């Protein structure tokens, strides 16, 4: 969440930047400032009462020593009065603190200066394009037909066992999934990321830490009995490794990668764009997460983008990078770049990765800090990216690599699959 210092330093600037995300922040920022003024006034009165009680304690001792019972009794009555008043003040102060935090949680992160204005995906900016475009006949099959033809994925069986959006991967389809996961993890390891295998469920504190909670859109699966949440991305448990942690400056950056299944309710999703692997409730993904000093985070962001680009190039997929406009960004992000691959049979671009810098927004929620050489404690910057999400990668690989003889497996995956063609 935004720091109170950021808001107080220039409220008008904060409101202006929030508007780039399509968020009208004038009323809530005004309320936050009003509550802060009340909180500071209450704190001053509490501090004044504490000082008075200290003096009275000393005067009672002095009066008792001097045999002045009347003076001691009057001082005790004053102590009782101040303590009664202080209790009410502290309760009001606690209420202010809770209300302040609740309001801060409703305010999105500020988009950085490089974020283009705009409210929808149509306003995103194509930054870079690469990869060979496939030359397929007009009757090229979409991936859901290819999956049926070669017995790779059974969507109907998933509906029977669980429901829509929970497919079964079978035979070479399952091996292709496992090959992609291993390939992505190995590439992350080569790039200096430490692999972790996190829990796939998290508590509410972790969800609040990375900004998935409060869950306004109902996208997380909640295990009510245990008050736990199925993770929508490994970003949540991996970033929360550093919740309430002060990192020594020389230990930065922290670079972690993790494979996990991911669960998203995708409430309100319907239509042709959710067919097959285009939008699932459960899917596999490899995530990269970095904790950085603020002055290094944008260089780290470029490294992460280069890493994802390199994966797509090795897979031989056509890709482009979008710099998201303010209205298409997540609640918590300061800047986001989406990677999309071309789906030859569907003739559309499919998102396969988002790479984001959250600056101090998540770190402030997490209390993720570092101690500098000057011994001062400062907030870190957090970053993460998909490297990569599997379903649409699989969709593009099946569609773009189809031939009359079968589906050609990219060379970089063959040592993992054990075969070079699906037929």
Give pLDDT tens digits for 106-161: 999 999 999 999 999 999 999 999 999 999 999 999 999 999 999 999 999 999 99
Cα separation, 218 vs 214, in Å, equals 9
Which 3 state secondary structure label does DSSP give 48?
A: helix
Structure tokens at 48: 């004044």
HSE of 380, CA atoms in CB hemisphere, 13 A = 31
Which 3 state secondary structure label does DSSP give 117?
A: coil
As a whole number, mean pLDDT of residues 72-100 equals 84
Please indicate, yes or no, if residue 111 is contained in any of the structural domains: no
Look at residue 90 in the predicted model and tell me its pLDDT.
86
Triad 191, 193, 199: Cα angle to 5°: 145
- Please give the sequence-ordered ranges of beta strands (E in DSSP) within 251-327, or none if there are none: 254-263, 282-292, 319-323
The domain boundary residue, chosen from 104, 137, 159: 104
The domain of 57 spans 4-104
Which 3 state secondary structure label does DSSP give 177?
A: helix
pTM: 0.92
Which 3 state secondary structure label does DSSP give 26?
A: helix
Lowest-confidence range among 69-73, 175-179, 347-351?
69-73
Same domain for 91 and 162, yes or no, is: no
The domain boundary residue, chosen from 63, 79, 104: 104
How many residues would you count in the chain?
423
Look at residue 272 in the predicted model and tell me its pLDDT.
56
Cα separation, 421 vs 402, in Å, equals 10
Same domain for 271 and 388, yes or no, is: yes
Please indicate, yes or no, if residue 335 is contained in any of the structural domains: yes
Same domain for 32 and 149, yes or no, is: no
Same domain for 275 and 238, yes or no, is: yes
Residues 6+ positions from 248 with CB-CB distance below 8 Å: 370, 371
Confidence of residue 193 (pLDDT cuts 50, 70, 90): very high
Report how many helices (DSSP H) and strands (DSSP E) the chain contains, helices first.
Answer: 13, 19
Same domain for 95 and 136, yes or no, is: no
**What are the angstrom distances between the C-alpha of 205 and each of 155, 213, 241, 367?**
35, 9, 12, 12
As a whole number, mean pLDDT of residues 91-102 equals 93
Same domain for 396 and 329, yes or no, is: yes
Same domain for 352 and 228, yes or no, is: yes
Same domain for 321 and 355, yes or no, is: yes
Please indicate, yes or no, if residue 226 is contained in any of the structural domains: yes
Report CA torsion sign: 134, 136, 140, 145: negative
CATH of the domain at 27: 1.10.287
HSE of 88, CA atoms in CB hemisphere, 13 A = 5
Please indicate, yes or no, if residue 113 is contained in any of the structural domains: no
Confidence of residue 47 (pLDDT cuts 50, 70, 90): confident
Question: First and final CA of the chain: distance in angstroms?
Answer: 51
CATH of the domain at 359: 3.30.930.10
Same domain for 35 and 142, yes or no, is: no
Cα separation, 169 vs 97, in Å, equals 50
Please indicate, yes or no, if residue 109 is contained in any of the structural domains: no
Rg (CA), the chain: 28
Residue bearing tokens 């690599």: 401
Please indicate, yes or no, if residue 59 is contained in any of the structural domains: yes
Same domain for 250 and 339, yes or no, is: yes
Q: Is residue 351 within a helix (H) or strand (E), and if so which, with residue range?
A: strand 348-357
Look at residue 166 in the predicted model and tell me its pLDDT.
97
Residue bearing tokens 């796939």: 200
Triad 301, 305, 311: Cα angle to 5°: 145
Please indicate, yes or no, if residue 342 is contained in any of the structural domains: yes
For residue 230, report the phi and psi dihedrals to the nearest 5 degrees. Answer: -70, 135
The domain boundary residue, chosen from 49, 72, 104: 104
Same domain for 240 and 385, yes or no, is: yes
Please indicate, yes or no, if residue 14 is contained in any of the structural domains: yes
Give how many domains the chain has, as a whole number: 2
In this structure, what DSSP letter does residue 203 have?
Answer: E
Give pLDDT tens digits for 261-281: 999 998 655 555 789 999 999
Same domain for 326 and 214, yes or no, is: yes
Which 3 state secondary structure label does DSSP give 348?
A: strand
- Please give the sequence-ordered ranges of beta strands (E in DSSP) within 264-300, or none if there are none: 282-292
Structure tokens at 124: 């995103």
């Amino acid at each position: 969440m935004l720091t109170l210092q950021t808001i107080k330093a220039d409220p008008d600037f904060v409101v202006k930047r929030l508007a780039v995300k399509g968020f009208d922040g004038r009323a809530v920022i005004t309320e936050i400032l009003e509550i802060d003024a009340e909180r500071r006034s209450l704190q001053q009165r509490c501090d004044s009462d504490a000082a008075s009680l200290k003096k009275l304690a000393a005067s009672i001792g002095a009066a008792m020593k001097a045999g002045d019972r009347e003076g001691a009794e009057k001082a005790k009555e004053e102590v009782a009065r101040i303590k009664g008043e202080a209790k009410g003040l502290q309760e009001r102060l606690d209420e202010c603190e809770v209300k302040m935090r609740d309001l801060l949680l409703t305010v999105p992160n500020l988009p950085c200066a490089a974020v283009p204005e705009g409210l929808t995906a149509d306003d995103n900016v194509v930054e870079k394009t690469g990869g060979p475009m496939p030359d397929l006949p007009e009757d090229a099959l979409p991936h859901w037909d290819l999956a049926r033809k070669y017995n790779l994925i059974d969507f109907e069986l998933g509906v029977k066992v669980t429901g829509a959006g929970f497919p079964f991967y079978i035979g070479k389809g399952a091996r292709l999934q496992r090959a992609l996961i291993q390939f992505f993890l190995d590439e992350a390891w080569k790039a200096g990321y430490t692999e972790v295998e996190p829990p796939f469920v998290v508590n509410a504190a972790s969800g609040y830490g990375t900004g998935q909670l409060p869950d306004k859109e109902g996208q997380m699966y909640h295990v009510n009995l245990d008050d736990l949440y199925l993770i929508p991305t490994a970003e949540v448990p991996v970033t929360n490794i550093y919740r309430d942690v002060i990192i020594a400056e020389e230990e930065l950056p922290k670079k972690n990668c993790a494979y996990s299944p991911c669960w998203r309710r995708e409430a309100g999703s319907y239509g042709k764009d959710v067919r097959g692997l285009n939008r699932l409730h459960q899917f596999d993904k490899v995530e990269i997460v970095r904790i950085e000093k603020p002055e290094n985070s944008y260089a780290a962001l470029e490294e992460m983008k280069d890493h994802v680009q390199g994966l797509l190039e090795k897979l031989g997929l056509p890709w482009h990078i979008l710099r998201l406009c303010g209205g298409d960004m997540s609640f918590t992000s300061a800047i986001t770049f989406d990677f999309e691959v071309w789906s030859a049979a569907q003739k559309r671009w499919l998102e396969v990765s988002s790479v984001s810098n959250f600056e101090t927004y998540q770190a402030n929620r997490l209390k993720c800090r570092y101690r500098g050489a000057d011994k001062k404690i400062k907030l870190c910057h957090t970053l993460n990216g998909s490297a990569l999400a599997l379903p649409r990668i699989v969709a593009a690989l099946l569609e773009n690599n189809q031939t009359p003889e079968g589906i050609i497996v990219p060379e970089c995956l063959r040592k993992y699959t054990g075969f070079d063609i699906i037929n």
